[in-house]
Amino acid sequence: MQRVYQYPELRELRDQQIRFAPRPKKLEQVEAAERLITEIDSGKTYPYDYVCFRVTGYRPASSVHAKFVGQELRHDLRLLVEDLSDSADMVVDNIGEQVLTIEELAKQFHVSTKTISRWRELGLVSRRLVFDGRKRVGFLRSSVDRFVKTNQERVARGARFSQLTEEQRQDILDRARRLASAGGGQSEISRRLAKRAGRSVETIRSTIRQFDQQHPEMAIFPDLAGPLNDSQKSKIYQNFKRGTSVEKLMKQFGRTKTTIYRVINEVRAARISELPFDFIPNPRFARKGAEQACLGPMPESDTPVKKARRPAGLPPYLASLYEMPLLTREQEAHLFRKYNYLKYRATKLREQLVPTQPKASLMDQIESLYQQAVATKNEIARANLRLVVSIAKRHVTPDQNFFELVSDGNMSLLRAIEKFDFARGNKFSTYASWAIMKNFARTIPGEFKHRDRFRTSQEELFEATQEHRGNPLVEEGAQNQREAQIERILRRLDEREQKIIIHRFGLDHAREPQTLKEVGESLGVTKERVRQLEARALTKLREVAREENIVLDTL
């Protein structure tokens, strides 16, 4: 069985010794590792060279500069002893001293087997030995004596606590049931009963959890019986992202602080593993000084940037496009180099992420790089939105919705940003124009075919193609009125619903309409949850619109 090591260097050392070391050498290394465990100081750090020499008797061939914290090193050395003894197939009868099983050791010290498991985490060394042809965990008498000598107070305290009698156990369960029916949470109930019974909180919690798992129909805390499911884990993560404290989550889900943090990191790591980090590779990304070269400041234009003249009578969305200056060739190359390098760096860091034990600092770096990449992509897109409008004008027909065509072109633009290789020296506008026009050539004939199929007369075709011209002043006034109405009814939604509606329909004119997944990532919820909230918000808006006699065709 593969156990989780804190340090990959020691995991690799284990793999090397299991594969190449002869059996007598493995037995020597087991003894050496156990002796080293007794000398480890939890507060100190130890270099890899020293640990490798103490365990194997030789210095590593290649220089490894890793350093290990004492407490985590003791944990890994204990696993190393178990794994090496497991691979050596050590038979109990050939050990030469007394060997105790977990049950025998618990009986000797008058403690539970869970207490023995906790002692193992604190330095009680165990080995994987062959008992009557079957491998089990065993403890050498010498190992037990060493642990007792250095942990006399802990062992004596554990021995003072006897096993719960059936009467004591039933009393705890009865009291827990009464407190739970009065509205108490599992953490609070466990603390109160532990204080009353003179037991540890973990003992009380374990007693209740064991009963709930064995009798789900009579469970004291039915929602907490058994391990957390994916839905509960996702809810813990989402609530934490919205600002709910860990203490409140502990009370709500009846879990320890360690469990809450473990679930948060587990869900966070799973979401990071799904982030889109596809990038266009480039040899310079792996060179020395690549970070400074790729993430430096934006090069300035050699000539003063002229503000584009905004044509009169444009709708607000089109008018906002003229506020973003166009990019020079050097600026464009810089942004694409930065965009792909950020995703390259994030990919390399994600390869170091261990899903079972993800490091928060590593996930912080990956998420920061992803956010920078998204911001860079948006900057490129905003600078090229006028290109989409220009191409859409040339392809629009009288019976088509111009803004639907622009929206379709924007999606092609975003896909082109993902696929553009800046190192080839081409202008992005050339590549993007080809991608947008290719998409229009594929989708527009399909739309005509669909419409022609459902037309019933030439009269409808004539009505669909006839020209309608309106007064620009009247249309602008109507547009302003509609914007004021939308702003007024949006105030009837809560903050999160407002954000979802604004982001989904692009009402702030600062960004393109976003997909369910994009909105979900910005709010820290799933796209299915965004869809539910969007539907609820639209229902509210329809009710408000009916109350105020507002016609909202898009809702």
Which pair of tokens denotes residue 241? 């992202």
| CA 88/CA 82 separation, integer angstroms | 10
Q: Are residues 125 and 22 in the same domain?
A: yes
Last residue of a domain, one of 134, 160, 186: 160
pLDDT per residue as tens digits for the range 483-498: 777 777 888 888 888 8
In a domain? residue 284: no
Residue 278 lies in a domain: no
Q: Residue range 60-67: average pLDDT?
A: 76
The answer to whether 92 and 131 are in contact (CB under 8 A) is yes
Split at pLDDT 50, 70, 90, the class of 269 is very high
Comparing CA positions, the residue from 511, 554, 542, 513 lying closest to residue 530 is: 513
- Asked whether residue 72 falls in the same domain as residue 143, the answer is yes
Let me know whether 441 and 492 are in one domain. no
Percent pLDDT > 70 in the chain is: 85
| Mean pLDDT (the chain, rounded) | 82
pLDDT at 458: 47
State whether 296 and 399 are in the same domain: yes
Mean pLDDT along residues 289-307: 79
Check whether 321 has a pLDDT greater than 90.
Answer: no
Which tokens belong to 514? 């976003």
Range 253-277 average pLDDT:
86
Amino acid at position 256, single letter: T
Burial 209-228 (b: 16+ CB within 10 A, else e): bebbeeeeeebbbeebbeeb
156, pLDDT greater than 80: no
pLDDT (average), residues 49-60: 89
Buried residues in 47-75 as b, exposed as e (16+ CB within 10 A): ebeebbebbbeeeeeeeeeebbbebbbbb
In this prediction, residue 374 has a pLDDT band, given cuts at 50, 70 and 90, of very high
Mean pLDDT over residues 437-460, rounded?
59
Are both 314 and 434 inside the same structural domain? yes
Q: What's residue 226's pLDDT? A: 61
Q: Would the pTM of this model clear 0.75, i.e. be above it?
A: no
Mean pLDDT value of segment 264-275: 92
**Which residues are within 8 A (CB) of 317 and not within 5 positions of it... i.e. 6 or more apart?**
403, 506, 509
pLDDT at 477: 65
User: Is 225 found in the same domain as 147?
Assistant: no
Same domain, 402 and 438: yes
**Predicted local distance difference test score (pLDDT) of residue 223:** 60
Q: Pick from 447, 465, 483: which residue ends a domain? A: 465
Give the whole-angstrom CA distance, residue 398 versus residue 451. 13
Taking alpha carbons only, the member of 10, 55, 7, 47 closest to residue 31 is 55
Per-residue pLDDT at 2 exceeds 70: no
Domain that holds residue 511: 472-547
Question: Quick check: is 144 in a domain?
Answer: yes
In this structure, the answer to whether residues 171 and 316 fall within a common structural domain is no
Residue 282 lies in a domain: no
How far is Cα 263 from Cα 249, in angstroms, rounded to an integer?
11
Segment 328-339, tens digit of pLDDT: 889 999 999 999
Q: Does 204 lie in the same domain as 124?
A: no
Write out the E strands in 20-80: 45-47, 67-69
- Category of 56 on φ-ψ map: left (φ > 0), alpha (ψ -120 to 50) or beta: alpha
Which is more confidently placed, 538 or 199? 538
Q: How confident is the model at residue 362 (pLDDT cuts 50, 70, 90)?
A: very high
The answer to whether position 197 is within a domain reads: yes
Q: Is 553 a member of any domain?
A: no
Q: Please, are residues 220 and 214 in contact by the beta-carbon 8 Å criterion? A: no
**C-alpha distances out from residue 99 to 95, 120, 129, 532, Å:** 8, 15, 9, 60
Q: Is 450 within a domain?
A: yes
User: End of a domain among 110, 137, 160?
Assistant: 160
pLDDT surpasses 70 at 314:
no
Spatial CA neighbour of 127 closest among 75, 87, 73? 87
* Total of domains in the chain: 4
Whether residue 439 sits in one domain with residue 320: yes
Residues 421 and 335 in one domain: yes
Q: Range with the lowest mean pLDDT among 114-118, 213-217, 461-465? A: 461-465
What mean pLDDT comes out for the span 74-98? Answer: 89
Residue showing tokens 């007792």: 148
Q: 254 is written with which tokens?
A: 């009846």
Is residue 86 included in any domain, yes or no? yes
Looking at the fold, whether 364 and 234 belong to one and the same domain comes out as no
When pLDDT is cut at 50, 70 and 90, the band that residue 476 belongs to is: low
Question: CATH number of the domain that 514 lies in?
Answer: 1.10.10.10
Residue indicated by tokens 């009814």: 489
Q: Count CA atoms within 13 Å of residue 129 on its CB side.
A: 23
Of 229-238, 399-408, 440-449, least confident by mean pLDDT is 440-449
Query: In this predicted structure, what is the pLDDT of residue 461?
Result: 45
